[in-house]
A = this chain, B = another copy of it.
């Protein structure tokens, strides 16, 4: 993730302790925290970081295309640092955990042109829901 910080600095991002901490928290694969979870974890390393800054920074990372915003339920959005690998999500309807998954075929191809109603379609997201093995064995 440190190359991320380099890349952003090259784009004129001012590098602050707060931004570095947020980026560090998001580091890793299969990480899907809510904004407040990111804030809680960031607070462990930088106790005075404010909620507003975390929201701002996450929003910037999303605009810059470095992080994906995932709204799986109607609850809090989750942030996915794995933005450079095309993937979709598999969500457990019981416990809410998320897995990244990779598809066989481009879901955009499944939408016939007449069904696009003149929209310039630029993005597709596919969410699979089901019960994860862990919840299933405990039921």
A56 in the interface (beta carbon within 8 A): no
Among the 9-residue stretches A2-10, A14-22, A38-46, A98-106, the one with 4 or more Cβ atoms under 8 Å from chain B is A98-106
Point out the residue from B76, B77, B104, B112 that lies within 8 Å of A111, measured CB to CB: B104
Residues in B whose Cβ lies below 8 Å from that of A110: 103-105, 107, 110, 126
Q: Are A130 and B126 in contact (CB under 8 A)?
A: no
**A72: nearest residue on chain B (CB-CB)?**
B71
Shortest CB-to-CB span from A36 to chain B, Å, is 13
Residues in B whose Cβ lies below 8 Å from that of A93: 122-123
Bound form: Cα–Cα A76–B131 in Å: 25
Question: With contacts A104-B111, A110-B107 known, is A119 near B128, CB below 8 A?
Answer: yes
Bound form: Cα–Cα A88–B133 in Å: 27
25 A-B interface contacts by CB (under 8 A): A71-B71, A71-B72, A71-B73, A74-B77, A90-B116, A92-B119, A99-B119, A101-B111, A101-B116, A104-B109, A105-B105, A105-B110, A107-B107, A107-B110, A110-B110, A111-B128, A117-B132, A117-B133, A119-B130, A119-B132, A121-B129, A121-B130, A122-B129, A125-B129, A126-B127
